[in-house]
Chain A
């Protein structure tokens, strides 16, 4: 299994897709953080908020990175179907179950790596933008929980994206669906029907990361449970489909 895992890890960094996702995700995160810093600076000047609140907003700004992490997870699975290399993967990995497990572990490890990068990006952006506006970043319990939430959510996003890939098996379709869900569709649902939207995957991740910019989110423990349920269901469905359908 170790060899299969390392091979899947090597595949993850083949081509430029991972780099594109990191760069685009980082750009969105930095722009988001800058926006929160600017709005926070104005609100602080008007006495409408506190440095702690602005700090928390800034720290969770890289939540957008999670959308791209999920899209990458989906792409790492689906591009094998698009390229036809899935056939060779199945034949050489020693069975579909073994391949599924190795890829799932590799995607989880990739999520952890991206999570670490996201946490570092979050902290650096928060420090730089708060300083640039003449404020001090507040480190308190919620700051730490936000960063932990980002890290855990990165692994979750990667796993969920990959599971969606096993279900959809089409690279463009899977990536578009994941990106649309993360950037638009789920926000629309929670805005219009908060009672439903809070149980969606990305909105649950916002809850786990203590996102203070969206109203109606689940508290962190419940959000963690919802995320886990989404992952378990999609992984089970993806595995079931992969092991039962013809490999084409």
Chain B
């Protein structure tokens, strides 16, 4: 698969903050219509990689492209790529509905789309409550609703399962499968092995550098080995691993 055919193409990507290396020489591609799990420990560089992919953080070297171009140069990027990033809050002082209305207006979408995505993520009943009163799980749902507003081809989700209760996790898994079934590509970062194992088609494992990129089946021998065991083989002994803030 060439870089231009890939939905996401990361080539020799690196990010250094002074003496600290967050990501080093990272190369991987994401095929269309796949759910891809970006795995790594806390501080392995997952969020940094996604932020470089989305043009929020400037790489020290290398390139990252979505649909063949850097995000900032991709026409209608905000309509083609839906994003849910950890640490991204709502507009201060808003209810869930008003927050989504603001983003829908930013995207030039009709207000009716807000009700659709609220229903899709199961926030209809809480839509008019202030977001600051939302639980972490409800915020995750609101983030996903925002990501879905423009009906994007690619979803980039940073730790979408964090804060979800068991019902929420099951809901997320079903939702992601349904979205992928509609032909969307999903790139999600996580450190929840069990959850990822049940959700993704392909795996990218990073620990500053790339440790694995390929199908889940290949990695786990068609399910004969646990993903968690494979992961620790790839990233090594936790006591000797290097992490950054």
Contacts and interface: CB of A to CB of B under 8 A. Distances in A.
A214 interface: no
A176 interface: no
Given A14-B91, A14-B93, A87 B106 contact: no
Instruction: Summarize A's interface: helix, strand, loop or mixed.
Output: helix
B7 interface: no
Contacts of B102: 7, 10-11, 14
Contact of A84 (B71, B89, B94): B89
B92 A83 contact: yes
A92 B78 contact: yes
Interface string B123-146: 000000000000000000000001
A3 B107 contact: yes
A16 interface: yes
B98 interface: yes
Q: Most chain-B CB neighbours within 10 Å: which of A17, A84, A85, A88?
A: A88
B176 to A, nearest CB: 20
A4 interface: yes
Interface residues of B, number: 30
B225 interface: no
A85 B78 contact: no
B16 interface: no
Interface in A57-95: 79-80, 82-85, 87-95
A7 B106 contact: yes
Interface stretch (B29-37, B53-61, B226-234): B53-61
A79 B91 CA distance: 9
A40 B85 CA distance: 59
B106 A4 contact: yes
A84 B87 contact: yes
Given A3-B107, A7-B103, A91-B78, A14 B94 contact: yes
A77 to B, nearest CB: 12
A12 to B, nearest CB: 10
Interface of A: 3-4, 6-7, 10-11, 14-17, 79-80, 82-85, 87-95, 246-248
